[in-house]
């Protein structure tokens, strides 16, 4: 039995006849799934030019590959216009994925504060809340959740807070959501974030808040933005570091470069003393195991003026500026 990735690799070697380039080059494989019971491969293919002749040619080469070469019973192919060339994916944007093994270690908080730090350092930045089923960035940024607005040609206008653009599933689940965003869109949500959002032309960095652990979203990210570099967040506790290492290895397997490790909730500053509430050493362990470096240790604390964002006048805000500075130097 072939894995989804193996099949995808093979399908990506096929040619988009409309431009004579492999689907790997055109990023034409939008979705691929195996129905193991029926032994059918479902695939959604983006063609650079959506014409019947090209669809027929691809359907034939797909059938040969999937049925004859790989031994499946059937193939269900759907086609759409490949919108990559006009999307943000065609631009030179630096992506930073914020990942962790465990949930609740502060990934989203770190991603959001890092975005503000980038902004303070003069960078134009956006956030993609890729934690599709547990999105939290709008709450962290204290934003009202309303349905997204679309442009005349059905593109999605990103939300904005303090000059930072963002998109999150949470907006699509707003109670007043228009019908068009329901159901089928959720499964392909991540694609829409990249293909259909009209991001500001000047965006240099996009922070991607990933769901905890490893899963489909990580694979989608690898497909959409293989150049995305990773920041791994852990707490100081050894058990958290253990799972963070796994996330790091998973990122490496997906061939993402790891920028470094952030140890969050490192300690508590109390009466001039550092108290190691959640143990110590986790960040260093993760960095060593991943042959990477510990970029920052962020203490436990609550911001003065916002729910989760620290100003650059606060100590933790300065920690985030230091972290952003280190990242900008390298990437």
Q: Site map for Mg ion, 3-32, x if CB under 5 A?
A: ------------------------------
| Alpha-carbon Rg for the chain in angstroms | 21
Taking the least distance from each CB to ligand ATP, the nearer of 134 and 178 is 134
Binding to ligand ATP in span 10-39, by CB under 6 A:
none
Pick what 265 binds: ligand ATP, Mg ion, none; C-beta below 5 to 8 Å, kind-dependent: ligand ATP
Q: Where are the alpha helices (DSSP H) in 78-149?
A: 107-120, 137-140
Binding to ligand ATP in span 240-269, by CB under 6 A:
264-265
Please, how many CA atoms are within 13 Å of residue 265, restricted to the half-sphere of its CB?
15
In the bound complex, which residue of the shown chain has the CB atom lying closest to Mg ion? 108
Judged by CB under 5 A, the number of residues near Mg ion is 3
Q: Residue 318 is encoded by which pair of tokens? A: 């300065």
Contact 26, 46 (CB under 8 A): yes
Binding to ligand ATP in span 270-329, by CB under 6 A:
298, 300-301, 308
**CB 110 to Mg ion: min, Å:** 9
Which of these, 41, 45, 3, 49, lies nearest to 24 by C-alpha position? 45
Q: Residue 308 is encoded by which pair of tokens? A: 């989760």
Bridge partners, 233 (sequence order): 262
Binding to ligand ATP in span 102-121, by CB under 6 A:
103-109
Contact 50, 33 (CB under 8 A): no
CA–CA separation, 170 vs 175, rounded Å?
10
CA–CA separation, 283 vs 261, rounded Å?
6
Distances (CA, A) of 210 to 39, 176, 178, 233: 31, 26, 26, 11
Residue 168 sits in the site that holds Mg ion (CB under 5 A): no
Binding to ligand ATP in span 196-235, by CB under 6 A:
212
Which of these, 61, 24, 66, lies nearest to 46 by C-alpha position? 24
Q: Where are the alpha helices (DSSP H) in the chain?
A: 4-12, 23-26, 52-63, 107-120, 137-140, 169-172, 184-187, 189-195, 216-224, 238-253, 282-289, 315-330
Binding to Mg ion in span 117-136, by CB under 5 A:
136
Q: Using the rule CB under 6 A, give the single segment among 37-45, 129-137, 156-164, 199-207 that binds ligand ATP.
A: 129-137
Pick what 308 binds: Mg ion, ligand ATP, none; C-beta below 5 to 8 Å, kind-dependent: ligand ATP
Q: Using the rule CB under 5 A, give the single segment among 39-47, 91-99, 105-113, 195-203 that binds Mg ion.
A: 105-113
Q: Using the rule CB under 6 A, give the single segment among 128-136, 160-168, 269-277, 320-328 that binds ligand ATP.
A: 128-136
Q: Residue 149 is encoded by which pair of tokens? A: 């607005």
Residue 134 sits in the site that holds ligand ATP (CB under 6 A): yes
Taking the least distance from each CB to Mg ion, the nearer of 66 and 99 is 99
Pick what 264 binds: Mg ion, ligand ATP, none; C-beta below 5 to 8 Å, kind-dependent: ligand ATP
Residue 108 sits in the site that holds Mg ion (CB under 5 A): yes
Bridge partners, 29 (sequence order): 45
Pick what 212 binds: Mg ion, ligand ATP, none; C-beta below 5 to 8 Å, kind-dependent: ligand ATP
Interacting residue ranges for ligand ATP, rule: CB under 6 A: 100, 103-109, 131, 134, 136, 212, 264-265, 298, 300-301, 308
């Amino acid at each position: 039995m072939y894995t989804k990735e193996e099949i995808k690799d093979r399908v990506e070697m096929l040619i988009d006849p409309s431009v004579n380039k492999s689907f790997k080059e055109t990023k034409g494989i939008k979705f691929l799934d195996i129905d193991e019971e029926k032994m059918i491969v479902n695939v959604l293919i983006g063609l650079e030019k959506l014409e019947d002749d090209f669809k027929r040619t691809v359907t034939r080469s797909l059938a040969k590959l999937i049925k004859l070469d790989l031994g499946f019973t059937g193939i269900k192919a759907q086609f759409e216009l490949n919108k990559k060339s006009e999307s943000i994916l065609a631009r030179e944007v630096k992506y930073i994925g914020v990942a962790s093994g465990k949930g609740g270690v502060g990934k989203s908080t770190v991603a959001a504060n890092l975005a503000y730090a980038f902004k303070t350092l003069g960078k134009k930045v956006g956030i993609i809340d890729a934690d599709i089923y547990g999105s939290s960035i709008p709450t962290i940024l204290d934003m009202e959740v309303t349905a997204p607005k679309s442009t005349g040609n059905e593109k999605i206008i990103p939300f904005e807070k303090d000059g930072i653009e963002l998109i999150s599933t949470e907006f699509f689940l707003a109670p007043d959501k228009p019908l068009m965003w329901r159901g089928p869109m959720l499964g392909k949500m991540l694609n829409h974030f990249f293909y259909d959002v009209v991001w500001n032309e000047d965006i240099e960095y996009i922070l991607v808040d990933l769901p905890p652990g490893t899963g489909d979203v990580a694979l989608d990210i690898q497909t959409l933005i293989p150049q995305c570099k990773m920041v791994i967040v852990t707490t100081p506790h050894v058990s958290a570091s253990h799972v963070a290492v796994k996330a790091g290895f998973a990122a490496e397997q997906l061939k993402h470069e790891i920028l470094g490790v952030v140890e969050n909730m490192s300690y508590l500053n109390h009466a001039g003393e550092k108290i190691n509430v959640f143990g110590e050493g986790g960040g260093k362990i993760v960095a060593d195991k991943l042959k990477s470096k510990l970029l920052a240790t962020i203490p436990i604390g609550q911001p003065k003026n916002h729910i989760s964002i620290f100003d650059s006048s606060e100590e933790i805000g300065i920690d985030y500026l230091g972290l952003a500075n280190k990242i900008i130097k390298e990437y």
